Amino acid sequence: MSTKKRGHNEDSIYKDGDRWRGAISIGYGPNGERLRKKVSGKTRPEVVEKIRKIREGIAKGLPVPDDKITVGAFLDRWLSTLPGHIADSTLDDYEDTVRLHLKPGLGRHKLTALTVAHVDALWQAKRAKYKPNSVRIMRAVLRKALGQAEREGLVARNVAALSMPPRLNTDEGRTLTIDQSHKLLDEVTEHRMGALVLLALVFGLRRGEALGLMWSGFDQEARTLRVAHAVKRIKNRTPGAERKTKLVITELKTRKSRRTLCLTPELVDALKQHRATHNAERLQAGEEWTEHGLIFPSMLGNPSDPDTFSHLFSKLAQKAGLGHWHPHELRHSGASLMLAQGTPLHVVSDVLGHASIAITKDVYGHLMEGDKRAASATISGALLGRSAPLAPRLAPTDAEETG
């Protein structure tokens, strides 16, 4: 039989076997029934303290904590609130991160019992199998989800934000040299996607951005090209749809990523020649053509599949004698070549569409050794009264390409 005791300002506290239990009134439900929150502990003071914290939270307008919900259940609930508030492609990424990494690693923990140590242990395990940037993305998704839990008062602190962030590698991989770039451009000159490869290399465009370029963004007279859209493959959420994924054209999310590129006369000519080919393909397709306004669509006018272009680019690079390359390496190559030719870092950052110059510096700062040596030579000559030769700017060496 249980014994029941009641103290000052307590709803009810009683001993049940070897456990102490308590119940506190938290108001009334929609049907007018009284709602009670139950807690338990090994000692009576422990139960008293839990009830005190609940009362304190209610006084501050916070919801009553649910000590039964698991991390996995909360993540599922959080994902269900996101449609309509974020881009479908972003939602796809969040869902994949939760399904593949967060729920298997943390899903069984009670949300209120999740600790920094639990989260740090997951990142340590993931670092053994995944690149640091992948772990960074996992941490960012969990941090965003637990931020919502913190705002709702379900947890006292965001343990993902307090966890140890992965150390990112500054070397983003190999880049094309000037000679390799010439070989590649010579190979793709006559190809229907040759102008895309040229623009991606010159401006360091992301694959989706290059495929999302619009004719409406090309101003021949002003010699400018607007980057404002991207082609992405996302999950098909249409009920009863045969295909699990679909291609979409989306607007770029941030102000920095939406940018205007300045074209040279040679680049304008390349786009004009490409437009002639584009118009010929449209006439040949006839009624099968679907107009989207894209500069680099498929043969029928639809968005080009990014993965299909990756396979095509690899084949073109191999035909040029360069071996296998990925379109994203065009972005690194463009940034490296711009810096090697003396383009200021802040300009490179704007051209690439980075969110801040700090990102550009973290990724490509190792390529600015010549700038730092030149600065040292200049100040040394000024202070010591003797001229020092400036360090020449060079294209990346083979060692720099391989990191």
Q: How many residues does the chain have?
A: 403
- Give the pairing of strands 218-219 and 245-251: unpaired
Q: Categorise residue 386: left if φ over 0, alpha if ψ from -120 to 50, beta otherwise.
A: beta
Comparing 262 with 154, the larger pLDDT belongs to 262
Whole-number Å distance between alpha carbons of 395 and 99: 43
Q: At what angle do helices 265-285 and 194-203 cross, to 10 degrees?
A: 150
Tens digits of residue pLDDT in 109-149: 999 899 999 999 999 999 999 988 899 999 999 999 999 99
Q: What is the DSSP letter of 294?
A: B
- 338-356: string of b/e by CB count within 10 Å (b at 16+)? bbbeeeebeebbbbbbbee
Tens digits of residue pLDDT in 95-104: 999 999 999 9
pLDDT at 50: 83
pLDDT at 237: 84
How far CA 130 is from CA of 75, 135, 142, 167, 192, in Å, comes to 22, 7, 17, 12, 36
How far CA 29 is from CA of 33, 36, 152, 200, 328, in Å, comes to 5, 10, 19, 60, 55
Mean pLDDT of the chain: 86
Whole-number Å distance between alpha carbons of 282 and 238: 29
Tens digits of residue pLDDT in 2-56: 444 444 444 688 888 888 988 887 777 667 777 777 778 889 998 888 888 878 7
pLDDT at 41: 84
Residue identified by tokens 């076997």 is 17
Q: Are 313 and 296 in contact (CB under 8 A)?
A: no
Has residue 393 got a pLDDT over 60? no
Which ranges of 176-238 does DSSP label H, i.e. alpha helix? 178-188, 194-203, 207-211
Classified as helix, coil or strand, 97 is helix
Comparing 108 with 151, the larger pLDDT belongs to 108
pLDDT at 168: 65
pTM of the model: 0.69
